[in-house]
Amino acid sequence: MSDAPTATGPLRGNLTQGPLTRTLLVFALPQLIGNVLQSLNGSINAIWVGQLLGDEALAATANSNILMFLLFALVFGFGMAATVRIGQAWGANDVITARRILGAALGLTGAISLVMATLGILFADKVLDLLATPGAAHDQALAYLRVVFIANPIATITTMIAMSLRGAGDAATPLRFMILATVLDVALNPVLILGLGPAPALGIAGSAWATVIATSIGFVAMIGWIYAKDLPLRLRGAELAWLCPRWQETQYLLSRGLPMGAQMLIISGAGVIMIGLVNREGLVTAAAYGALLQIWNYIGMPAMAIGAAVSAMVAQHIGAGREDRVDAISRAGSLANLAMTGLMIAALVPFDRPVLELFLGASSPSVAAALHIQDLAIWTYLPFGITIVLFGTLRAYGVIYAQLAVLFTAMYAVRLGAYYLLYPVLGPDALWYSFLLSSVTSLALTLLTYFKLPWRKRMLARIISAREGVPA
DSSP string of 220-285, one letter each residue:
HHHHHHHHHTT-SS---GGGGGGGS--HHHHHHHHHHHHHHHHHHHHHHHHHHHHHHHHHTT-HHH
Q: Taking 90 as the threshold, does the pLDDT of residue 136 lie above it?
A: no
Of the candidates 110, 89, 208, the one whose C-alpha atom is nearest the C-alpha of residue 157 is 110
Of the candidates 46, 43, 73, the one whose C-alpha atom is nearest the C-alpha of residue 57 is 46
pLDDT digits (tens, 9 = 90+) for 382-423: 999 999 999 999 998 888 889 999 999 999 999 999 999 999
- Residue 298 near residue 36 (C-beta atoms within 8 A): yes
- Residue 64 near residue 148 (C-beta atoms within 8 A): yes
Helical ranges in 54-169 per DSSP H: 55-91, 95-130, 135-167
pLDDT at 56: 59
pLDDT at 3: 45
Q: Place 127 in a pLDDT band, splitting at 50, 70 and 90.
A: confident
Q: Sketch the domain layout of the chain as residue ranges.
A: 27-245, 256-472
Of the candidates 16, 11, 15, the one whose C-alpha atom is nearest the C-alpha of residue 1 is 11
Rounded to 10 degrees, what is the CA torsion of 403, 407, 413, 415? 150
Q: Place 64 in a pLDDT band, splitting at 50, 70 and 90.
A: low
Q: Taking 60 as the threshold, does the pLDDT of residue 7 lie above it?
A: no
Mean pLDDT of 45-67: 64
Of the candidates 457, 316, 435, 389, the one whose C-alpha atom is nearest the C-alpha of residue 15 is 316
d(CA 206, CA 31): 28
- Residue 439 near residue 380 (C-beta atoms within 8 A): yes
Rounded to 10 degrees, what is the CA torsion of 329, 332, 334, 335? 170
Mean confidence (pLDDT) of the chain: 83
Rounded to 10 degrees, what is the CA torsion of 15, 20, 21, 25? 0
d(CA 74, CA 121): 18
Q: Taking 80 as the threshold, does the pLDDT of residue 90 lie above it?
A: yes
Mean pLDDT of 126-151: 74
d(CA 418, CA 414): 6
Question: What are the φ and ψ backbone dihedral angles of 114, each rounded to 5 degrees?
Answer: -65, -45
Q: Taking 70 as the threshold, does the pLDDT of residue 66 lie above it?
A: no
pLDDT at 61: 64
Q: Taking 90 as the threshold, does the pLDDT of residue 246 lie above it?
A: no
